[in-house]
């Protein structure tokens, strides 16, 4: 069956269904599940059902009440989701708030990210601040903290780098800190991180860190300003 397009200009409310392209310019609401090849918003959109798409692109704000599954997700603005977000490539320029879990191949965030559940991806890159209620698990993790106090329950990965990056606003030196229970990986470099346990093969603890226990297999380095209660080879 041939798919038709759905265009909302100004403000309006439409039912879901199967579409080729969905475009919203203004304020639009989709009241039930939607399956489309391309979804694009310039303005504000509210999606009351599940969303399945090949590409999902937002310029403005989007409120998703259920789950989103799309090959490409690009948020230029604000996304608020009550369900899970999954995709091959997920790019957020602004603010993303997810009540469920975040799944993907590549996640790149410039701004802020909040995930109440777990974040499980292959590559995770963030410049800004984040809150993850569960586990952050990725093959490659590269975090540049620019502001706020970032928190995550546990971090697991192969290569893990967490740095404090200067903000163009020139915010206080007290900003850009991360707190977690456990960090476990192969190669780990940390700055301005508070953790109970850091475990890995090659570990370097940089400036501004407070670590209770470091467990390493091959190599361990400690910056002179780092506070580590105990380090041991395993």
pLDDT value, residue 146: 86
Q: Which two tokens stand for residue 172?
A: 């206080």
What tens digit of pLDDT does each residue of 193-213 get? 999 999 999 999 999 999 999
Task: Give how far the C-alpha of residue 141 lies from the chain's centroid of Cα atoms, to the nearest Å.
Answer: 11
Cα Rg of the chain (Å, integer): 20
> What is the C-alpha separation between 151 and 124, in angstroms, rounded?
15
User: What pLDDT score was predicted for residue 176?
Assistant: 74
pLDDT digits (tens, 9 = 90+) for 147-177: 788 999 999 999 999 999 875 555 445 467 9
Q: Provide the whole-model pTM.
A: 0.93
Residue 226 host element (H or E): none
pLDDT of the residue at 185 = 98
> What's the CA gap between 150 and 119, in Å, rounded?
14
Which residues of the chain carry a pLDDT beneath 70? Answer: 1, 167-175
Q: Which helix (H) or strand (E) holds 33?
A: none
The whole-number pLDDT of residue 31 equals 96
Collect all residues with Cβ–Cβ distance below 8 Å to 43 and sequence separation of at least 6: 24, 25, 26, 27, 28, 59, 60, 61
């Amino acid at each position: 069956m041939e798919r038709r397009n759905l265009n909302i200009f100004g403000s309006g409310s439409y039912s879901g269904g199967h579409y080729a392209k969905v475009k919203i310019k203004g304020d639009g609401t989709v009241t039930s599940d939607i399956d489309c090849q391309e979804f694009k918003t310039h303005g504000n959109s509210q999606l009351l059902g599940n969303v399945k798409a090949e590409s999902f692109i937002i310029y403005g704000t989007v409120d998703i009440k259920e789950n989103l599954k799309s090959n490409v997700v690009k948020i230029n603005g604000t996304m608020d989701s009550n369900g899970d977000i999954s995709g091959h490539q997920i790019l957020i320029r602004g603010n993303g708030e997810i009540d469920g879990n975040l799944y993907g191949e590549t996640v790149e965030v410039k701004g802020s990210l909040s995930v109440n559940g777990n974040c499980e991806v292959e590559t995770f890159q963030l410049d800004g601040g984040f809150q993850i209620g569960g586990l952050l698990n990725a093959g490659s993790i590269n975090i540049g903290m620019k502001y706020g106090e970032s928190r995550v329950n546990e971090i697991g990965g192969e290569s893990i780098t967490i740095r404090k990056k200067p903000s163009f606003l020139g915010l206080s030196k007290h900003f850009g800190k991360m707190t977690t229970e456990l960090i476990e990986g192969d190669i780990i470099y940390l700055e301005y991180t508070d953790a109970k346990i850091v475990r890995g093969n090659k570990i370097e603890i940089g400036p501004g860190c407070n670590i209770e226990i470091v467990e390493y297999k091959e190599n361990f380095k400690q910056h002179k300003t780092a506070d580590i209660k105990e380090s041991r080879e395993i």
